[in-house]
Structure 1
Amino acid sequence: MAPRIVLITGCSSGIGLSAAVALAKHPDFKVYATMRNTGKKGDLEKAAGGGCLDKTLFIRKLDVKDDKTFKPVLDEIINSNGKLDVLINNAGLGMLTISEAAPVEGVRHILETNVIGLFQLTQAVIPIMKKQKAGHIVNVTSIAGFLGTPYSTIYCASKFAVEGMTESLAAELMSDNIRFSLIEPGPVKTNFRENIQEASGTGLDNPDVDEDTKKRFVAVLTKLREIYAPVTQTADEIGGVIVKAVTDEKPCLRYQTSEDAIKRAKFKLADPSGNSFLSMYREALE
């Protein structure tokens, strides 16, 4: 049986790297692992090893903010394999900032990467999958896609957008046999946190932000890290959930990646008023 062909974005580190390697080592898959800067491919090459590299795993340049980089990769995939079975939209950026201090350019950068770029690549892939009358598109979001978090306003907005987009597309393209899945991790041990300020600063150095707000920002983030530390997962664990999603005979629309994430999803939706959600943070952060 011919291998299933997978395209993954954001594979230089973290979840994308882990998922790419796990799928490349699986007997049923051939993986095109992409990243914005192929100068950062060293960790992926090391993790893949000689048994996979340029055999079942191919590293290519693709920047979700630059649609001109899509065509060369998609053309190679179709010319070499005649199909694309799975798209995994993993590339993304985070932003931790005092909301009134969030720079507009930083906000645009997050939304252009996490929402617009993801949508444009999905748009480019849909006609391929429609022609095949089959396909699976997996969007990596977060519990921040259904649960707002203090000082992650723009990141949450971007992930909420992808959740809504995915629900809509899943219904729209069901008749074309194109399936959609959301991967919803909680906190993950990756370089994401180290790189989270790529788009902007926190606002702590902004003279227009009052000192009480700055102190609250630091206190809240410290407390949230303490709360989430016991349930933080590894990138390999999330990669395993992605493998499950793409190997399930009837893939789910949503995959929370831990019992804690499942619990938080149930908690959020159990009270339509939203009062329980606000109380959760009030009690946790007082």
Structure 2
Amino acid sequence: MKNAVLMTGCSTGIGYVCAHALAKQGFDVIASCRKLEDVERLREEGLTCIHLDLADNDSILNAVEEVRVMTDGKLMGLFNNGAYGQPGALEDLPTDALRKQFETNFFGWHTLTQAVIPMMMANGKGRIVQNSSVLGFVALKFRGAYNASKFAVEGWTDTLRLELAGSPVKISLIEPGPIETRFRANALEAFYRFIDIENSRFRSDYLAQQDRMESENSTNKYTLPSESIIAPLIHALTAEDPKVRYRVTKPTHYMAWCKRLLPSKTLDKILAKGG
């Protein structure tokens, strides 16, 4: 494998679409999924796919060793994508809910990235692409656990970029806004797991959130398909001078502008309308 890229969270949505697209572009894609049945399904579709659970350190390290053998230690790229959203007001979420959120969305990414950097350094080249979110730099109510995990990803990535300066490894962030995926369905499962709707002062807000998450399609007119991530991902993996941040969807560009120019209290008034 000369152009090998390891990708996480490939069972559906962005990871699934990008894995197939990069394979068609000639990349040696190594897709990964948390569930074994999804691994088998992607293999049947013609992708190279391995098992990798971001909430399990042993699973991550076993996957990295498998990748090392498959690529003869020549992994070129990593796309950190696997994540989920834990809805709920922060005052209603038990600490364990945040631990689980960070285990998958942040700590798993750290373990995986830390494990592949030596391979990239030894090969004299490497690209790490982090699929963050507009919620990695602005916050929405009832998204506190997810906001916190993505803010952490952004700060972690900025730090690693400084530490990688002068090395053959480059790191970039993709910051999508609303994307049409199974994200809402997965968030709904997490919502039911930890939130006591009836005994919360946010009961009416939660019922509205529940209706939104149960909907098969997004009502946001700015929502883009998962395919919108393909072009920035390929650029981040192949450009001689990749961007630090790739902002995808109009809301991301708009919020980046607001964050840069508006006073915090003014921005709060805009953000308070969301959620």
Paired positions, count:
270
Partner of 1:6: 5
Amino acid corresponding to residue 13 of structure 1 in structure 2: T
- The verdict on how the C-alpha distance between 1:216 and 1:12 changes in structure 2, with shifts beyond 3 A counting, is closer
CA-to-partner distance for each residue in 1:17-55, whole Å, 9 max, x for gaps?
11111111112x101100111212466457xx4xxx2xx
* Residues 70 and 223 of structure 1: CA distance in aligned 2, closer, same or farther (over 3 Å): closer
2: CA distance, partners of 1:85 / 1:25: 17
Residues 1:232 and 2:231 are matched in the alignment: no
Write out aligned runs for 1:1-286 (5 A).
Answer: 3-27=2-26, 29-41=27-39, 44-45=42-43, 49=45, 53=46, 57-82=47-72, 83-201=74-192, 203=195, 205-207=197-199, 209-210=200-201, 213-218=202-207, 229-271=220-262, 273-282=263-272, 284=273
Verify the 8 A CA contact 1:13 1:43 in the aligned structure 2: no
Secondary structure at the residue paired with 1:199?
Answer: helix
Q: Is the 8 A contact 1:103 1:200 kept in 2?
A: no
CA contact (8 A) 1:183 1:255 kept: yes
Question: Which 4+ runs in 1 deviate beyond 6 A?
Answer: 220-228
CA deviation map 1:131-162 (0-9, x unaligned) = 22321111111101011011000100000000
Tell me which amino acid in the other structure corresponds to 1:81: T
Give, as a single letter, the amino acid of the residue that structure 2 aligns with 1:148.
Answer: A
The DSSP-based 3-state class of the residue aligned with 2:154 is helix
* 8 Å CA contact 2:10, 2:31 repeated in 1: yes
Q: Which string of whole-angstrom CA distances, capped at 9 and with x for unpartnered residues, describes residues 208-235 of structure 1?
A: x23xx32244458889999961101111
Structure 1 position 204, deviation (Å) = 5.0
- Structure 2 distance, partners of 1:221, 1:152, is 13
Letter in 2 for 1:215: S
**5+ residue gaps, structure 1:** none
Aligned partners of 1:98 and 1:217 also within 8 Å? no
CA positional deviation for 1:104? 2.2
8 Å CA contact 2:174–2:247 kept in 1: the answer is yes
Give 3-state SS (helix, strand or coil) of 1:175's partner: coil
Counterpart Cα distance in 1 of 2:219 and 2:132: 17
**Corresponding letter in the other structure for 1:25:** K
Are 1:115 and 1:158, in contact at CA under 8 Å, matched by a contact in 2? Answer: yes
**Alignment identity in percent?**
33
TM-superposed deviation, 1:265: 1.0
Q: TM-score w.r.t. structure 2 length? A: 0.89
One-letter amino acid of the counterpart of residue 123, structure 1? Q
Q: Kindly state the Cα deviation for residue 279 of structure 1 after the two structures are TM-superposed.
A: 2.0
| Root-mean-square deviation (Å) | 2.5
* AA of the residue aligned to 1:117: G
Instruction: Give the TM-score normalised by the residue count of structure 1.
Output: 0.85
Distance in 1, matches of 2:235 and 2:177, equals 17
